[in-house]
Chain A
């Protein structure tokens, strides 16, 4: 898929990044995720993923207070995410509108399916946690890790966690980094690598 002239202009600053370039931007545009989220973390992640050119297909969940941002106008809070995205995405970034790809981006608790990449946004009571799995990553270890976590934090910590989740998802789409892992995010912006729980097969 060759980049169109308007895409070269829109994504020029991403193309400049050594890890992205034109070919990487094509991968971001070819990818897509189904979103299951109602809060700050998931909607912040969705906003950055959509702005980067990757398709985001939202579910029927009702958007919670706190999700207002450049993707969700304040008057849309309380409405189904799928309806809001259908109205808003053509203006934010039409490249993110047509459903495609096999990725999942979800706030915990969630059900996981499809080939991936998978990015889970959760929390353990002290911090926000991103658990991720790319193609080839063990689904059992991913689910064992997410099973130990609760819902993601709200407020500023949730917004930061969402931004981190978007970056992790984009790295998976670009084929960068490990295919399975977890990282913690806590105030005032401390990122830590976390271990992944091993499933019965890998343990």
Chain B
């Protein structure tokens, strides 16, 4: 289990705002903090974890929530 620092719901956002919202919240967190992202649809399911990884953050988990959405846990790494 990871202690979540902050939760972000992007289920109503579309590309590119899905990752823009995620990126802005990640920038506001301290290194090592865990961001929980609730997302819906194929595009953010593919792109948000990929973009976060490319910017050096750690993808801790990605799992369905049973209501059509997914729960993504990201750990902020330095610099991003």
Contacts and interface: CB of A to CB of B under 8 A. Distances in A.
Nearest to B28: A22
Interface in A1-36: 3, 8-9, 12-13, 15-16, 18, 21-23
Nearest to A23: B27
Nearest to A18: B55
Chain B at the A interface: SS class: helix
Interface residues on B, range: 10 to 19
Interface in B1-53: 16-17, 19-20, 23-24, 27, 51
B23 A22 contact: yes
B57 to A, nearest CB: 12
Contacts of A22: 23-24, 27
B27 A8 contact: no
Dominant secondary structure at the A interface: helix
Contacts of B24: 3, 8, 15, 21-22
Contacts of A3: 24
Contacts of A15: 20, 23-24
Interface string B48-67: 00010011000000000000
Contact of A12 (B20, B27, B51, B55): B20
Nearest to A3: B24
B40 to A, nearest CB: 19
Interface centre among A3, A8, A18, A23 (most CB of B within 10 A): A18
Contact of B16 (A13, A18, A21, A23): A13
A15 B27 CA distance: 11
B20 A16 contact: yes
Nearest to A12: B20
Nearest to B20: A12
B43 to A, nearest CB: 14
Contacts of B16: 12-13, 16
Interface of B: 16-17, 19-20, 23-24, 27, 51, 54-55, 80
A-B pairs, top 6 by smallest CB distance, nearest first, are A22-B24, A12-B20, A22-B27, A15-B20, A12-B16, A16-B16
